[in-house]
Chain A
Amino acid sequence: MKAFEFASPVTLDQALAELPNDVAKRDSVKLFAGGQDLLTEMKEHLVEPTKLVNLKRVPGLDRIELAPDGTLVIGCLATLGALAEHAETKNFFTCVAEAARSVGSAQIRSQGTVGGNLNQRPRCWYYRNEHAPCLKKGGTECFAYSGLNKYNAILGGGPSYIVHPSDLATALVALDAQVTLRSAKGERTMALEKFYSLPSEGDVTRETVLEPAEILTHVRVPAKSGWQSTYLKFKERGSYDFALAAVAVAVKSDGAPRTIRDARLVLGGVAPKPWNVPKAAAALVGVALGSAEGAASSKRAGELAVVGAEPLAHNAYKVPLVQGLIVKAIEALAAR
């Protein structure tokens, strides 16, 4: 392994001071949180940083708190395990806790952090093979496009067809989460949805708009009273796996029977970023959860969710899979 420097700052400012401004140095200085993704990338020689900036000595960044206005504030160093077990998150932001719980294995969840999860790199097996010089690694071709693409994107693909691997991102986008990005120069806040970029929108070697000098310090999830949510992930191997497809559904309902007044629907595992489908969500509005009408609207939402899908040779199954997951997820909400 290439020798690297290991910086262990104890304040956020010290950490920020370690980061380069220069885009060309982006991969030579890497933030190190739980290391569950970064270390595997280094072992496969996909990145060979000259410096790791260990965030874990910076105090306070691991907090998960409910602000007085009901906003959930998650520090970037909160572990997935802590988030999955956090009582208020489970109660009021259920899909987020469920998504955290669905990640990897208990070992990964106890090391892996929220910041690392949102910033992890793709799992595409071409990207992860150092001998395949793919677009994501600065090459000229997305091998998945015409190759073995069972696990790749059916939506939003091109020129790269990776799917974003983060479970948390899908759930957080469904709850309109915001992220705070800090650099030595200051701070900016944006919708998590905007934090992710499609391969066609910007630098194809990146999945986010994070600048090399920035740290994602916090995630804020606005209070949503009267909302319920769930995250349903389909794993090829149930014990631990990335999503073949996943859905995060959130609905605001009232009355008896509960009638849906507002809804969010976001797909995971099918696109290079969390795939928000507001038109599909709108199809859920106005119907009673659990009613026959509700079942029809879930099906309708499923159809709208995959509008524009362009399956590759080996992933057409993701279309019915997503649709099936949407129906199941809404059934699960109705049963609560």
Chain B
Amino acid sequence: MSSKLPASPLEPRAQDGAPKKKKILVPKVENGHETMVEIEVDDVAGPEWGPREKLRLLNHEFVRVDAVDKVTGRARYTHDVRLAGMLYAKFVACPLPHAEVRVDLSAAKQVPGVVEARVVRDGEIRFVGQPVAVVAAKTREAAEDGARAIKLDLKPLPFAVTREQSLAANAPEVNRRGNASKPDERGDAAEVTAAFARCAAAIEATYSVPVQHHACLETHGAVVDVPSNDAATVYHSTQATFASAGEFKGPLKVSDVEVINEHMGGGFGSKFEAGVEGRVASELARDLKVPIHLMLSRKDEFLAAGNRSGCTATVKLGGTQDGKLVALSASVDRFGGLGGGSHAGLPYIYSVETSHRSMRSVYTHLDGNRAMRAPGHPQASFAMESALDELAYALGVDLVEIRKRNVGDVHAKQLERAAREIGWAEHPHKSKPDLSDAVVKVGIGFGLSQWGGGGHPECRVTVDIAPDGGVRATVGSQDLGTGVRTYVAAIVAEELGLPLGGVTARIGRTSYGPANASGGSVTTASLAPAVKHAAFNAKRSLLEALAKTLASAPDELVLDTQGVYDARSKRRLSWKDACATLPPAGISAVGEWQANLASNGVHGAQAAKVRVDTRTGEIQVVKMVCVQDCGLPLNRTGVRSQIFGGMIQALSYALFEERVIEPDLGLALNANFEDYKLAASREIPEMVAILDDDDTRGVIGMAEATIVPGHSAIANAIHNACGVRLRSMPLTCDKLLLGLAALKKG
């Protein structure tokens, strides 16, 4: 090959023979916060996904391998674990946001069935719902009664649970370094002021987003079993199985911890840590020498297991007559309780010539926020997409055109596709809302998303082929719900010419081999290449072994869905017969991450159509469209299901979800599934998920991108329908009715 040609991945060695290296950007999640870091990897030849039209399983639609287990109740979640002699533990939480607490355990210890009662934390309590005591008992009912019997001596302290309370002149101290952090500033304010002078129009408004909950159907918690002095087994509902093993070692004081997490009922970013529940369960199990089942109650889950931070963002945005964005200035307050909150930078996805932004955290006596599906992005999306929409109307520019004018080609193309699918061309209100006297009105809105989703080398996958033809793919990774178990099997089946059912995937256990934590949509791009590599190696070993038995050569052997064909002897062996020639131990091959099989950076465009009844303020989302890229879709059903899930979660966020803390009493008023409303079946619109097949890159995670813009598109559609701009989520009928009344008054 000519040395003038650029090096291809198939030509891995540099001139001097040392393995060629390349630098790639990978996302890294630490304490729930994602950053991109550069790492160096070998740029070696390896497996390829191959041309898409040749793929038989991958890039096709198939049902999850564990679907039936999940819907029939056979799948075992941490909640379901029952061990001999196990005790149920239950927390007692502080009902107040800020108090001096003393705990009296004596009555609890008298409750029949109660084995242990302990103080978890006393003294100063700093958030509503902070666990202060725990009870372990023989039955769940006894644990409830024991928890009830614990007496809390509460001395209420002054608290701040709202922004206003936290920033008030005489506010109680929430954070030692001040109730608001020092603003983080980017850009040049003076330049932006000058830029506004060049704008044909500018708008300024304040947008606010409430605190949202992850609302995992399976609450946080663990079942901890310490059968000996040096080893323990922890069943843990976690999205970081391997980090969890390390965390549990501390309180368990053992050197060997196996974490098991076969199925989990949602994490959405809230389950990276063992948490106080993991620590307390470990201490109880260690001291009492019996297995401990400690899963949070629904109320504990709402109050002490993290949340998506809220925010208020004041945005001023200006542009030219034809909609080119020229100037943006923004100031953002994040509300992450005792945590810092998260908010992606503005102008977010759009390019604006000049911008300045200032961002700070305002602290309150509520539990700290945690990562939640695309941390900080939905908040930034709401402010930016709303402001952009407002500017479009001020300028009289088409809502799709103004977006296309300020983004890159991929987004522009996806937006066009979304617009076509939602019926934008036929829609009569493209740059003015419907201000007619009609009682029922229809509007359309848009929003864009982006995400990283690249992978990194952390997984080790083993593929075993047994002489009876059985194939097992093994890796410790958890399945956050995205379909990991299914694509692990599918990738191996594709490589070995087998049907999906021909491979058993074993996951969710630390002893199965290392894997990454599932955060930042990195799992697929980290794991899939390693699975492919292991399958590739297993195939190579199989063919090498067969070549010996058949007195042929590995490159004379072809493995496909018909089994093995030996070009030398012109003989064909079925898969079963080929495997039968293997030694009793069969074949075991290991795979690791391959940079060439993954990529990074996804784009999406969404559109929403709503129907507004101006008499009642009823808002009905009738249709949502998402156009999403993700490199190679491993399982198109899986990708579409992530898109649907993202759109539904965003719809629910748009219309209903909001943590309500009573500002005077400090009590949580909706820490349950009745008052904290989630969208249910009748709220679900027609949903169209379109995979952007122009994207020919390797595998990329996309799950987070899908939740970013849906609520923004819905808010924009409401304005488009009736002229009321709802700047504060959730977008409920009370706000709309007052908005409509104000509009009438003029």
Listed in ascending order, the chain A residues whose CB lies under 8 Å from chain B are 1, 45, 123, 125-126, 128-129, 131-132, 143, 146-148, 150, 234, 236-241, 244, 314-317, 320-321, 323-325, 327-328
Known: A126-B669, A131-B667, A143-B662. A315 touches B734 (CB 8 A): yes
**A147-B664, A321-B737, A324-B615 given. 5 additional CB < 8 A pairs?**
A239-B682, A239-B683, A317-B737, A320-B615, A327-B615
Closest A residue by C-beta to B677: A237
Main secondary structure of the interface of A (DSSP, over half): loop
Known: A132-B667, A237-B656, A325-B616. A147 touches B680 (CB 8 A): no
B436-462 interface mask toward A, CB cutoff 8 Å, 1 = contact, 0 = none? Answer: 000000000000000000000000000
Separation in Å of the B88 CB from the closest CB of chain A? Answer: 15
CB neighbours (8 Å) of A234 from chain B are: 616, 618, 733
**Pairwise interchain contact A317-B662, C-beta atoms closer than 8 A:** no
> A149 CA to B683 CA in the complex, in Å?
25
Separation in Å of the A264 CB from the closest CB of chain B? Answer: 21
- B732 close to chain A: CB less than 8 A: yes
Separation in Å of the B9 CB from the closest CB of chain A? Answer: 51
CB neighbours (8 Å) of A320 from chain B are: 615, 617, 737, 740-741
Count of chain A to chain B residue pairs whose CB atoms are closer than 8 Å in the complex? 89
> A1 CA to B140 CA in the complex, in Å?
11
CB neighbours (8 Å) of B679 from chain A are: 237, 239
CB neighbours (8 Å) of A45 from chain B are: 148
Closest A residue by C-beta to B675: A125
- B566 close to chain A: CB less than 8 A: no
**Pairwise interchain contact A314-B734, C-beta atoms closer than 8 A:** yes
- B144 close to chain A: CB less than 8 A: yes
> A140 CA to B91 CA in the complex, in Å?
30
> What 9 A-B pairs come out closest when comparing CB atoms?
A324-B615, A239-B680, A317-B734, A239-B682, A324-B616, A317-B737, A125-B669, A238-B682, A131-B95
Closest B residue by C-beta to A238: B682
**Pairwise interchain contact A237-B734, C-beta atoms closer than 8 A:** no
Give which listed residue, B613, B662, B664, B735, contacts A324 with CB less than 8 A: B613
> A45 CA to B95 CA in the complex, in Å?
15
Number of interface residues of B (CB under 8 A): 39
Separation in Å of the B149 CB from the closest CB of chain A? Answer: 11
**Pairwise interchain contact A132-B665, C-beta atoms closer than 8 A:** yes
CB neighbours (8 Å) of A129 from chain B are: 667-669
| 14 A-B pairs in the complex with CB atoms less than 8 angstroms apart | A125-B675, A129-B668, A129-B669, A131-B95, A132-B665, A236-B656, A236-B733, A237-B655, A239-B681, A239-B682, A239-B683, A317-B734, A317-B737, A324-B617
Known: A131-B667, A143-B662, A143-B665. A317 touches B682 (CB 8 A): no
- B660 close to chain A: CB less than 8 A: yes
- B670 close to chain A: CB less than 8 A: yes
CB neighbours (8 Å) of A125 from chain B are: 660, 669-670, 675
> A234 CA to B616 CA in the complex, in Å?
8
Separation in Å of the B652 CB from the closest CB of chain A? Answer: 9
- B738 close to chain A: CB less than 8 A: yes
Give which listed residue, B145, B680, B738, contacts A1 with CB less than 8 A: B145
Separation in Å of the A151 CB from the closest CB of chain B? Answer: 9
Give which listed residue, B144, B656, B669, contacts A148 with CB less than 8 A: B669
- B141 close to chain A: CB less than 8 A: yes
Closest B residue by C-beta to A240: B680
> A325 CA to B662 CA in the complex, in Å?
30
**Pairwise interchain contact B732-A236, C-beta atoms closer than 8 A:** yes
Give which listed residue, A123, A131, A237, contacts B680 with CB less than 8 A: A237
> A317 CA to B665 CA in the complex, in Å?
25
> A56 CA to B663 CA in the complex, in Å?
43
Interface residue ranges of B582-634 to A (CB < 8 Å): 613-618, 620
Closest B residue by C-beta to A40: B674
Separation in Å of the B66 CB from the closest CB of chain A? Answer: 26
Separation in Å of the B722 CB from the closest CB of chain A? Answer: 13
**Pairwise interchain contact B669-A317, C-beta atoms closer than 8 A:** no
> A310 CA to B205 CA in the complex, in Å?
31
> A320 CA to B740 CA in the complex, in Å?
10
> A320 CA to B439 CA in the complex, in Å?
14
Known: A125-B675, A321-B617, A324-B613. A244 touches B733 (CB 8 A): yes
B114-155 interface mask toward A, CB cutoff 8 Å, 1 = contact, 0 = none? Answer: 000000000000000000000000000100110010000000
> A315 CA to B677 CA in the complex, in Å?
18
CB neighbours (8 Å) of B663 from chain A are: 147-148
> A129 CA to B303 CA in the complex, in Å?
14
**Pairwise interchain contact B683-A237, C-beta atoms closer than 8 A:** yes
Closest B residue by C-beta to A326: B615
Known: A147-B664, A237-B677, A237-B683. A321 touches B616 (CB 8 A): yes
Closest B residue by C-beta to A318: B734
> A126 CA to B735 CA in the complex, in Å?
22
CB neighbours (8 Å) of A241 from chain B are: 677
CB neighbours (8 Å) of B738 from chain A are: 316-317
Separation in Å of the B557 CB from the closest CB of chain A? Answer: 57
> A324 CA to B615 CA in the complex, in Å?
4
CB neighbours (8 Å) of A328 from chain B are: 615-616
Separation in Å of the A321 CB from the closest CB of chain B? Answer: 6
Known: A126-B669, A315-B734. A238 touches B683 (CB 8 A): yes
Separation in Å of the B140 CB from the closest CB of chain A? Answer: 11
Interface residue ranges of B343-372 to A (CB < 8 Å): none
Separation in Å of the B21 CB from the closest CB of chain A? Answer: 55
Closest B residue by C-beta to A319: B737
> A239 CA to B741 CA in the complex, in Å?
27
Closest B residue by C-beta to A323: B615
CB neighbours (8 Å) of B669 from chain A are: 125-126, 129, 148
Separation in Å of the B275 CB from the closest CB of chain A? Answer: 24
Closest A residue by C-beta to B614: A324
CB neighbours (8 Å) of B618 from chain A are: 234
Separation in Å of the A253 CB from the closest CB of chain B? Answer: 23
> A125 CA to B661 CA in the complex, in Å?
11
> A131 CA to B96 CA in the complex, in Å?
9
CB neighbours (8 Å) of A327 from chain B are: 615
CB neighbours (8 Å) of B737 from chain A are: 317, 320-321, 324
Closest A residue by C-beta to B664: A147
Closest A residue by C-beta to B655: A237
Known: A1-B141, A238-B682, A316-B738. A321 touches B662 (CB 8 A): no
Closest A residue by C-beta to B656: A237
- Among B148, B620, B667, the most chain A Cβ lie within 10 Å of the Cβ of B667
> A1 CA to B146 CA in the complex, in Å?
10
CB neighbours (8 Å) of B617 from chain A are: 317, 320-321, 324
CB neighbours (8 Å) of B616 from chain A are: 234, 321, 324-325, 328
Interface residue ranges of B679-705 to A (CB < 8 Å): 679-683
Separation in Å of the B341 CB from the closest CB of chain A? Answer: 22
Separation in Å of the B676 CB from the closest CB of chain A? Answer: 11
> A323 CA to B677 CA in the complex, in Å?
25
B723-734 interface mask toward A, CB cutoff 8 Å, 1 = contact, 0 = none? Answer: 000000000111
> A239 CA to B678 CA in the complex, in Å?
10
> A22 CA to B88 CA in the complex, in Å?
40
> A328 CA to B655 CA in the complex, in Å?
23
CB neighbours (8 Å) of A128 from chain B are: 675
Closest B residue by C-beta to A316: B738
> A93 CA to B662 CA in the complex, in Å?
41
CB neighbours (8 Å) of A324 from chain B are: 613-617, 737
Separation in Å of the A161 CB from the closest CB of chain B? Answer: 15
CB neighbours (8 Å) of A131 from chain B are: 95, 665, 667
> A45 CA to B738 CA in the complex, in Å?
37
Separation in Å of the A285 CB from the closest CB of chain B? Answer: 23
CB neighbours (8 Å) of A126 from chain B are: 662, 669
> A71 CA to B91 CA in the complex, in Å?
54
> A125 CA to B670 CA in the complex, in Å?
7
CB neighbours (8 Å) of A315 from chain B are: 734
- Among A123, A125, A132, A147, the most chain B Cβ lie within 10 Å of the Cβ of A125
Separation in Å of the A131 CB from the closest CB of chain B? Answer: 5
> A321 CA to B734 CA in the complex, in Å?
8
- Among B95, B663, B737, B738, the most chain A Cβ lie within 10 Å of the Cβ of B737
